[in-house]
């Protein structure tokens, strides 16, 4: 195997491990931030006709 697929697999597994270790409070905070970003984008982008 080449190095690129191995690197991508390693990055994906590390991401899953980080998600498993997070508390519910940090997940709630992330949801609030993402909802705020969506609300700001909806206000600034005009709707297509």
User: What pLDDT score was predicted for residue 1?
Assistant: 61
20 occurs within a structural domain = yes
Q: How far apart are CA 15 and CA 11, in angstroms?
A: 6
Domain that holds residue 37: 3-44
Q: How far apart are CA 2 and CA 8, in angstroms?
A: 11
User: What pLDDT score was predicted for residue 44?
Assistant: 84
User: What pLDDT score was predicted for residue 35?
Assistant: 95
Q: Among 8-12, 17-21, 43-47, which range has the highest average pLDDT?
A: 8-12
Q: What percent of the chain has pLDDT over 70?
A: 98
Report the first-to-last Cα separation within the chain, whole angstroms.
50
Tally of domains in the chain: 1
Which single residue is written with the structure tokens 């970003």? 37
User: What pLDDT score was predicted for residue 2?
Assistant: 81
E strand or H helix that includes residue 35: helix 24-44
Q: Span 21-42, mean pLDDT?
A: 89
| CB-count exposure of residue 19 (10 Å: 0-12, 13-18, 19+) | exposed
12 occurs within a structural domain = yes
Q: What pTM, to 2 d.p., does this model score?
A: 0.50
49 occurs within a structural domain = no
């Amino acid at each position: 195997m080449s190095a690129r697929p191995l690197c991508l697999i390693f990055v994906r597994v590390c991401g899953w491990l980080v998600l498993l270790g997070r508390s519910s409070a940090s997940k709630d905070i992330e949801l609030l931030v993402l909802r705020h970003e969506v609300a700001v984008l909806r206000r600034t982008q005009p709707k297509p006709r």
